[in-house]
Chain A
């Protein structure tokens, strides 16, 4: 099966969306995990709050996955016949994938915030709510990225076309 340039660009877009998001989330979760291990080694009862904070940077990975699936469904690679999409639509899919991939880099910062938050919670358990709010702030930009990507997909008929 020969793939058109448009499809190849869309697949690259999906790969960037998932790949970069996976790396970013991995780093973020890793940072939070290191700090989490430090807290648990001292106070195993803090596993609950630590787990919640460590899970936060994972969401960017989910956005990346979602973006990649939307592109792949939109161009027919998943759940149907591969469409012969125009090259312009391929670029649009690539752009959407890049937006999601880059905005998912916020997971790294979120991991660092979550790591600090774990320390704060370990010291003062009552700060758990505030620690979550601080970490979620970094999430906002990943959501904006996902939103823009969806707007691109809808506007260019990759979604709902």
Chain B
């Protein structure tokens, strides 16, 4: 206990100081009203994002978006250097995330037949894989070649989703496979490690929400259990019960199975919107919120140790996502109130 408090003393003080520089409520009010990257850039003065903003970001939302992500990635690297040694899975979580983001960029580039320059421009440095390696990935001719190049990396099991992708040309299978590799690897590591209970609890919720998203999407899109099985993460409490009822229940019948879990009420509330739109986005949003809520709960429950760090990382991710939503909304002429409503829901 004392050791835990001591080892996180420096980290927690530093991240609380960083929280002091989060975008304030009044500045969010102003940001919601922004209609151009230039306006957003000027409002970011004094925040941690500002040093990453260059001339190009003032006029180009893509550049602005990249600057925001670069700040986030740099923060991850900075924190990963000061995390106590015993908490190395948190370091992996912080770094590997950027490998996944870059790999996703390559996959979307190949799938959407984007120009190589466009793909390279979207890369964000900061992962565990050599950054130069990503540049070699863009020279491939097909998704098969891309997956083949990952043979000696932790992402080699992306082949699980490749056959389904080739069959359907639906990128969901590859993306779900990539997410599965990230979360399953992390889950396996934290399950067998003592002393990082709070992080294990948090990853546990992330893993369950990953599985739930896959199952709900499968139900929504009429996929079979066989189709989604390679993308589900095992050793998860909820999974067995849900899978045993997979063939019997439709999407609405699935949610009552989650009664007595933290997922039941939010999913039930989102069901109405799903019925209106037919999109599972409503479910995905509430599931993402649950991970955020879990991080906040952990932070309150464990004010010393790794609790504040987990809370901070998730809050920062929320800030970045909201900021990116505003930046992207400048590309298309969206209703400001709608953006605000979307962000509030997030």
Contacts and interface: CB of A to CB of B under 8 A. Distances in A.
Interface residues of A, number: 21
B5 A112 contact: yes
Interface string B1-33: 000011001111110111111000000000000
Nearest to B48: A42
Interface stretch (A13-21, A56-64, A113-121, A138-146): A113-121
Contact of A123 (B5, B11, B20, B304): B20
Given A34-B6, A118-B13, A123-B17, 17 more contacts: A31-B6, A31-B9, A35-B9, A35-B12, A35-B13, A37-B10, A38-B11, A39-B14, A43-B20, A112-B5, A116-B304, A118-B16, A119-B17, A120-B16, A123-B19, A124-B20, A125-B20
Interface string B301-319: 0011000100000000000
A41 B303 contact: no
Q: Which of B5, B17, B308 has most chain A Cβ within 10 Å?
A: B17
B17 A122 contact: yes
A94 to B, nearest CB: 29
B70 to A, nearest CB: 19
Contacts of B16: 39, 118-120, 122-123
A36 interface: yes
Please classify the interface of chain A as helix (H, G, I), strand (E, B), loop, or mixed, using the class held by over half of its residues.
helix
Interface of A: 31, 34-39, 41-43, 46, 112, 115-116, 118-120, 122-125
Nearest to A34: B9
Contacts of A120: 16
Contacts of B303: 116
A41 B9 contact: no
B9 A122 contact: no
Contacts of B17: 38-39, 41-43, 46, 119, 122-123
A119 B16 CA distance: 5
